[in-house]
Amino acid sequence: MPPDSDKPRGLTRRELVRVLGTSVGLACLTPLAGCGSFWERQTAIPVDSWHKGVCRFCGTGCGVMIGLKDNKVADVKGDDDAHNRGRLCIKGLATRDILYSEGRALHPMIRKNGELQPASWDEAMTLVARRFKDAIQANGPDSVAFYGSGQLYTQESYTANKLFKAGIGTNNVDGNPRLCMASAVTGYTTTFGKDEPAGCYEDIDHAECFFITGSNTLECHPIIWERVRDRKRSHPATKIILVDPRKTPTARHVDLHLPILPGTDVSLYNAMIHVFLEENFIDADMVEHYLSFQEGEQKRTFDDFTRHIAKYEPETVAKTCGVTAQDIREAAFLFASSKATLSLWTMGLNQQVQGTASNRLVSAMHLLTGHFGRPGATPFSLTGQPNACGGVRDTGSLAHALPNGRLVANPKHREEMEDLWNVPRGRISPKPGHHTVALFDAMNRGAVKCCLVMCTNPGQTLPNVTAYREGMEKTFLVVVDTFYPTETTKFADVVLPAALWVEKEGVTGNAERRYHLYPKLVDPPGEARSDLEILVDLATRLGYGDLIAARTPRDVWDEWRKVSAHSQYNFEGITYERLQKERGILWPCPTETHPGTKRRYVPGQDPMASGTGRFDFYGKPDGRAVVWLDHQEEPLDLYSDEYPLIFNTGRILEHWHTMTITGQAPTLKDIHPDYLEIHPYDAHRLKITDGDPVIVKSRRGEVELRARLSDIVRPGMVFATMHSARHLINQSTHDAHDPFSKQPAFKRCAVSVRTKTV
Amino acid sequence: MARPLRQSLIAFMTVAGLWAAPAWAAGMRDAVSSVDIFRSIGIAASVAGILLLILVQYVYRKRLSHSTYHRLLLVGVFLLPLTATWSTTATVMEGTKSVQACRSCHVMHPFVNDMTNPSSPTLAARHYRNNWIAKDQCYACHVTYGATGTLAGKRDGFRHWFHYVTNTYPDPIQYVGSYANSNCLSCHQGTGKWERVKSHQTLVGELSADRIACVTCHGPPHPLPHERTVAMANRDASRRMAGGPDGQ
Ligand code: SF4
């Protein structure tokens, strides 16, 4: 149309159709044009960006995706690409809130006139350094100690271990894994010569029989349990056997439950081996080529072993164990006859005076029947904490240990580490340090003057805790924690606020030898610092700045993986770049192109194994794994007329350890674990009704709880959780411990129960 | 009764009957599928409409009074086609609930095939093979229960279809937004098993606001992106679809 036309214009019919067509087309495109809100379901929690990480809590080590909004953690969901396949348990979900819960420690504090008062970092660290220096000068290096945690990052435990052992010159480095995993360590090392499980989580997908013993997997390793259930869902013929004194939630889903009396595991496993021998389930090739036998310091033969086992006929041990001979035979048959049997265990085995013996007998059952080193066939110890394996066991941050399976008592091992750490020969003390119970005992005696406690709460978790509180009171105690107050800060002279979870960067190693990375995503609150920063600062102030030259998480990791190359743990190939990219890698992993190792000791799969045989147990000089002749000892703390019940302890799904974190999380804090499970039969006899306040009294102390009548426990047994600080069950528990692992026997002591008179 | 009143009553009852029939049919579930009934009504209405028009126009025209002729014409020209249109819509609305309808897009094959795989441990497969959901298994968990649930479900379906035909979807496909837990809770909440878990009680608020997904602990509902191999999924799938639920 000419521009000068002044005719009024309307739309032609063709134009109208075109406009209408375009509008309809555009309307259809709205979902693509950012008007999605009308078209799509919305996310309940808006997030700016997602980052890969790992759950803060248990040793399962589930992969998480962390959603940030305005530089704060806003949402956490399971990582589809990690081993947990997007699943998380309720604790994992709660990580969304833990950084912002009430009660975070925000400022350094120093005790003045009996009160903890805010101080500056410089003031606090100057005091700590001065007190440590004074103690070392006046009483020698063994008068100071480090008490760490399976929740510190690997870089932190490694640095602390190096500072104390190669710098200060004391082996007084221990930590809460002693209360948790020590018997698993000695179980594995006495059998295979090397610590840590040989198998991996993937074995769950191939097992045809699960032998779960001393583990309430459903509540304590829920995501592993879901994987077990998935196996059963896919292959309903899969059998699950459970050995647990209680009819736990796990017990509801198993095919066979043996409610064994606490502390009688050695009898049970020997009896099962008795059935293996009787029914000819023994793998002769294993016995001939891959196994050796030992009793104490003595070498034994297979015939000696057979004679030893003859004493453990199921019919004989049934009474000791409190289960029927029929069930023992059934369990043994299912275990041995399946195509691939996988054992899972944790605190139930580890926390008893015969913890080491129980651990190695489970391994022996696998070795003798050949249920080892094949997909689905492996003895797999579950770990409680996210970094007990990687951070403490692998770095050797325990009083008797040095990195990568070395021992303080071995002069060659000390020399190797002195060379690797570049310190003069003779720097590392030949004397093993104090293990946990001995350490707190040394504090009682005044032998240890200063102790740095990091990321753990011994004021609540030590067995027979009242006996050690006095020592903590006397010692110059530096407590580094993320929350304040705790039962331990009550005795602290200095409290230092620590960063939590993704407020700092680090690597952890979960139960299946998987190293994975926690990124730093947000800043810690108040003046809190990462534990690594605190250790580096302390090292510098104590004059070991040159020794602790690696000062960032990345540098420490690089140093550490290169140290590992000089051992059969070799994970030099797990570089930071790979950790940032991948969902963790299972060591050994010697080169950057190595995919990681699913099954150890199997030539062709484990880069450390050599030869062409079925196995190469390279941890032992003769290449043979050891089967031990272990005897059942008299169970601990026998009951009497005065203390007629057995007290058993444990955990629930919703809480973590001493609840310092989960007790503040909005989704978890209302779940109270302060109850005593008692069988209605005992309750009736003791005139206790449901909900009554009751006093549980042992030979060491007493604790008040509310009675919960339940047939989860057997008659004659009571149970309480270790979580709550309001009722310290460890005032009653026993501090007796395994002679090899020094792990205390939390799972059994004799008590009486009575109604509290008001 | 006054004539207009009677007329409106008949009209009302016809409309009500048209709505009641499918509702009744839907209730019959296994005997006859509601889709079949809607489709039959539609076909019957169309055939009747055409017949009526032919008869009225060519056979009976002379014998009918002028007003009756007009009324019957009205029925043939408007009411019956309207019924047919309604029936088509209802057939589509109802028909798209079926698993087969969802499976008609090939991106859905891994999901449906996993669901019908008797040894898959996914939530969908377990609900399917254990007959926890008797029919329309996809729809049952993706409709969203509540006032506007059906609308949201259909809207999602339309959007999926739109993305599919315009080839504008990501591969592997991703679930958009927060999954509505009401799909799970409508059956599970309040059952003894559900109540027994302490954490469920403390999470009620978070669950109903969809801030925590049931499937985080109990999933995954379907194979994960890296597990969605069509080859695996296609295996035996058609046989299973034909054979119906099996396995444990
Ligand atoms: S199972 Fe353990 S690692 Fe996994 S989400 Fe739960 S607490 Fe976290």
What local confidence, expressed as pLDDT, does residue B52 receive?
A: 84
B207 to chain A, minimum CA–CA distance in Å?
11
Q: Considering chain A, what percentage of its residues have pLDDT values greater than 70?
A: 96
Contact A44 B178 (CB under 8 A): yes
What local confidence, expressed as pLDDT, does residue B31 receive?
A: 56
A50 Cβ neighbours under 8 A, 6+ residues apart = A65, A66, A67, A68
- Nearest Cα residue in chain B from A79: B216
Last residue of a domain, one of B95, B124, B157: B95
Domain identity same for B134 and B49: no
Is the residue at B236 inside a domain? Answer: yes
Candidates A385, A460, A568, A632; catalytic one: A385
Question: Residue B10: which domain range?
Answer: 3-95
| Residue A144 tokens, joined | 């100071």
What local confidence, expressed as pLDDT, does residue A673 receive?
A: 92
Whether residue A135 is predicted with pLDDT greater than 90 in this model: the reply is: yes
A26 to chain B, minimum CA–CA distance in Å?
13
Domain identity same for B78 and B40: yes
Cα A72-A75-A81 angle, rounded to 5 deg: 120
What local confidence, expressed as pLDDT, does residue B238 receive?
A: 41
Whether residue A350 is predicted with pLDDT greater than 60 in this model: the reply is: yes
Atom of ligand 1 nearest to the CA of A61: 3
Confirm whether A298 is a catalytic residue: no
Q: H/E element holding A678?
A: strand A675-678
Residue A29 pLDDT grade (very low, low, confident, very high; cuts 50, 70, 90):
low
Instruction: State the Cα–Cα distance between residues B31 and B42, nearest whole angstrom.
Output: 19
Whether residue B23 is predicted with pLDDT greater than 60 in this model: the reply is: no
Least confident of A340-349, A377-386, B184-193: B184-193
Of B159, B209, B210, nearest to A39 by CB-CB distance is: B159
Q: H/E element holding A641?
A: none
- Nearest Cα residue in chain B from A43: B177
- Pick from A590, A556, A503: which is nearest to A98 by CA? A503
Chain B residues 195-224 with a CB less than 8 Å from chain A: 198-199, 202-203, 206, 209-213, 216-217, 219-220, 224
Mean pLDDT of all residues in A151-164 = 98
Contact A31 B220 (CB under 8 A): no
Domain identity same for B12 and B82: yes
Least confident of A212-221, B13-22, B53-62, B230-239: B230-239
Domain identity same for B24 and B112: no
Domain identity same for B166 and B180: yes
Q: Are A220 and A383 in contact (CB under 8 A)?
A: no
3-state secondary structure of A203: helix
Domain identity same for B107 and B159: yes
A404 to chain B, minimum CA–CA distance in Å?
35
Whether residue A218 is predicted with pLDDT greater than 90 in this model: the reply is: yes
Domain identity same for B121 and B16: no
Mean pLDDT of all residues in A301-318 = 97
Which is more confident, A388 or A3? Answer: A388
What local confidence, expressed as pLDDT, does residue B241 receive?
A: 42
Whether residue A144 is predicted with pLDDT greater than 60 in this model: the reply is: yes
Confirm whether A687 is a catalytic residue: no
Residue B40 pLDDT grade (very low, low, confident, very high; cuts 50, 70, 90):
confident
Cβ neighbour number for residue A32 with a 10 Å cutoff = 13
Does residue A175 sit at the B interface (CB-CB below 8 Å)? no
Residue A26 pLDDT grade (very low, low, confident, very high; cuts 50, 70, 90):
low
φ, ψ dihedrals at A338, nearest 5°: -70, 165
What local confidence, expressed as pLDDT, does residue B68 receive?
A: 86
Q: Please, which contacts does A318-323 make with residues 24 or more away whose CB atoms are closer than 8 Å?
A: A318/A271, A320/A261, A320/A264, A320/A267, A320/A632, A321/A258, A321/A260, A321/A261, A321/A264, A321/A267, A321/A268, A321/A271, A322/A259, A322/A260, A322/A261, A322/A264, A322/A714, A323/A258, A323/A259, A323/A260, A323/A268
A79 to chain B, minimum CA–CA distance in Å?
10
For ligand 1, atom 6, the nearest C-alpha belongs to: A89
Whether residue B245 is predicted with pLDDT greater than 50 in this model: the reply is: no
Is the residue at B65 inside a domain? Answer: yes
Does residue B151 sit at the A interface (CB-CB below 8 Å)? no
Mean pLDDT of all residues in A675-696 = 96
For chain A, which domains are there? 9-98 (2.20.25.90), 109-180+387-547 (3.40.50.740), 182-382+624-628 (3.40.228.10), 645-755 (2.40.40.20)
| Residue A713 tokens, joined | 């426990």
Chain mean pLDDT for chain A? 94
Domain identity same for B79 and B115: no
| Residue A242 tokens, joined | 């459970």
Taking contacts as CB-CB distances below 8 angstroms, the residues of chain B near A43 are 177-178
Exposed, middle or buried: residue B218 (CB in 10 Å: 0-12, 13-18, 19+)? middle
Does residue B17 sit at the A interface (CB-CB below 8 Å)? no
Whether residue A1 is predicted with pLDDT greater than 60 in this model: the reply is: no
The secondary structure of chain B, three-state, reads CCHHHHHHHHHHHHHHHHHHHHHHHHHHCCCCCHHHHHHHHHHHHHHHHHHHHHHHHHHCHHHCCHHHHHHHHHHHHHHHHHHHHHHHHHHHHHHCCCHHHHHCCHHHHHHHHHHCCCCCCCHHHHHHHCCCCCCCHHHHHHCCCCCCHHHHHHHHHHHHHHHHHCCCCCCCCCCCCCCCCHHHHHHHCCCHHHHHCHHHHHHHHHHHCCCCCHHHHHCCCCCCHHHCCHHHHHCCHHHHHHHCCCCC
Of B119, B209, B216, nearest to A77 by CB-CB distance is: B216
Chain B residues 91-120 with a CB less than 8 Å from chain A: 119-120
- Nearest Cα residue in chain A from B226: A81
Whether residue A361 is predicted with pLDDT greater than 50 in this model: the reply is: yes
Instruction: State the Cα–Cα distance between residues A305 and A187, nearest whole angstrom.
Output: 18
| Residue A159 tokens, joined | 């640095």
Q: H/E element holding A681?
A: helix A680-685
Mean pLDDT of all residues in A45-58 = 96
CA A50 to chain centre: 27
Whether residue B6 is predicted with pLDDT greater than 80 in this model: the reply is: no
Give the model confidence (pLDDT) of A84-101 as tens digits: 999 999 999 999 999 999
Domain identity same for B127 and B226: yes
Instruction: State the Cα–Cα distance between residues B160 and B169, nearest whole angstrom.
Output: 8
Alpha-carbon torsion A253, A257, A263, A266, what sign? negative
Instruction: State the Cα–Cα distance between residues A132 and A435, nearest whole angstrom.
Output: 20
Interface test with B, best of A233, A656, A674, A721 (most B CBs within 10 A): A233
The count of CB pairs under 8 A between chains A and B is 90
Does residue B174 sit at the A interface (CB-CB below 8 Å)? no
Taking contacts as CB-CB distances below 8 angstroms, the residues of chain A near B178 are 41-45
What local confidence, expressed as pLDDT, does residue A483 receive?
A: 95
Does residue A93 sit at the B interface (CB-CB below 8 Å)? yes
Give the model confidence (pLDDT) of A472-487 as tens digits: 999 999 999 999 999 9
What local confidence, expressed as pLDDT, does residue B29 receive?
A: 47
ipTM here = 0.87
Give the E-state strand segments of A296-407 in sequence order.
298-300, 341-345, 378-381, 401-402, 406-407
For ligand 1, atom 8, the nearest C-alpha belongs to: A92
Last residue of a domain, one of B35, B61, B95: B95
Domain identity same for B128 and B217: yes
Mean pLDDT of all residues in A624-640 = 90
Chain mean pLDDT for chain B? 78
Instruction: State the Cα–Cα distance between residues A401 and B47, nearest whole angstrom.
Output: 90
Whether residue A412 is predicted with pLDDT greater than 70 in this model: the reply is: yes
Whether residue B176 is predicted with pLDDT greater than 90 in this model: the reply is: no
* Amino acid, single-letter form, for residue B68: T
Q: Put the strands of the sheet holding A625-628 in their side by side order.
A: A298-300, A291-295, A625-628
Is the residue at B137 inside a domain? Answer: yes
- Report the domain count for chain B: 2
Does the N-terminal peptide bond of residue A553 adopt cis geometry, omega within 30 degrees of 0? no
What local confidence, expressed as pLDDT, does residue B142 receive?
A: 87
Residue A425 pLDDT grade (very low, low, confident, very high; cuts 50, 70, 90):
very high
Is the residue at B163 inside a domain? Answer: yes
CA of A221 to the centre of ligand 1 (A): 7
Contact A234 B120 (CB under 8 A): yes
Is the residue at B248 inside a domain? Answer: no
Whether residue A705 is predicted with pLDDT greater than 70 in this model: the reply is: yes
Confirm whether A543 is a catalytic residue: no
A749 to chain B, minimum CA–CA distance in Å?
28
- Pick from A351, A312, A259: which is nearest to A630 by CA? A312
Last residue of a domain, one of B33, B66, B95: B95
- Pick from A632, A716, A702: which is nearest to A353 by CA? A632
Domain identity same for B231 and B134: yes
- Give the position of tokens 């094949």: A374
A456 Cβ neighbours under 8 A, 6+ residues apart = A147, A148, A149, A151, A175, A176, A488
Instruction: State the Cα–Cα distance between residues A315 and A659, nearest whole angstrom.
Output: 43
Domain identity same for B91 and B103: no
- Give the position of tokens 């295979």: A192
Contact A90 B176 (CB under 8 A): no
Residue B193's domain is classified under what CATH number?
Answer: 1.10.3820
Whether residue A342 is predicted with pLDDT greater than 50 in this model: the reply is: yes
Residue A36 pLDDT grade (very low, low, confident, very high; cuts 50, 70, 90):
low
Residue B28 pLDDT grade (very low, low, confident, very high; cuts 50, 70, 90):
very low
Residue B247 pLDDT grade (very low, low, confident, very high; cuts 50, 70, 90):
very low
Taking contacts as CB-CB distances below 8 angstroms, the residues of chain A near B177 are 40-43
What would the DSSP string read from start to end of A599-620?
STT-TTTSTT--SSSS---TTS
Residue B169 pLDDT grade (very low, low, confident, very high; cuts 50, 70, 90):
confident
Residue B80 pLDDT grade (very low, low, confident, very high; cuts 50, 70, 90):
confident
Provide residues with CB under 6 Å of ligand 1: A 55, 57-58, 60-62, 88-89, 91-92, 221-223
Candidates A384, A390, A405, A573; catalytic one: A384
Contact B159 A31 (CB under 8 A): yes
Mean pLDDT of all residues in A68-82 = 96
Does residue A40 sit at the B interface (CB-CB below 8 Å)? yes
What local confidence, expressed as pLDDT, does residue B170 receive?
A: 85
Residues in chain A: 758
Contact A39 B120 (CB under 8 A): no
Give the model confidence (pLDDT) of A182-202 as tens digits: 999 999 999 999 999 999 999
Mean pLDDT of all residues in A589-595 = 97
Confirm whether A162 is a catalytic residue: no
- Nearest Cα residue in chain B from A96: B212
Contact A45 B211 (CB under 8 A): yes
CA of A468 to the centre of ligand 1 (A): 31
Give the E-state strand segments of A581-666 in sequence order.
585-586, 625-628, 645-650
- Pick from A634, A637, A632: which is nearest to A745 by CA? A637
A271 Cβ neighbours under 8 A, 6+ residues apart = A312, A313, A314, A316, A317, A318, A321, A328, A332
Mean pLDDT of all residues in B129-144 = 88
Confirm whether A385 is a catalytic residue: yes
Whether residue A242 is predicted with pLDDT greater than 80 in this model: the reply is: yes
Alpha-carbon torsion B193, B196, B200, B204, what sign? positive
Q: Which pTM does this prediction carry?
A: 0.88
Residue B246 pLDDT grade (very low, low, confident, very high; cuts 50, 70, 90):
very low
H helix and E strand count, chain A: 23, 29
φ, ψ dihedrals at A74, nearest 5°: -105, -35
CA A691 to chain centre: 32
Is the residue at B247 inside a domain? Answer: no
Of B198, B212, B248, nearest to A671 by CB-CB distance is: B198
Mean pLDDT of all residues in A640-668 = 92
Give the model confidence (pLDDT) of A247-304 as tens digits: 999 999 999 999 999 999 999 999 999 999 999 999 999 999 999 999 999 999 999 9
A321: left (phi over 0), alpha (psi -120 to 50) or beta: alpha
A423-447 burial, b if ≥16 CB within 10 A, otherwise e?
Answer: beeebbbeebbbbbbbbbbbbbeeb
Taking contacts as CB-CB distances below 8 angstroms, the residues of chain A near B216 are 77-78, 86-88, 93
What local confidence, expressed as pLDDT, does residue A38 receive?
A: 67
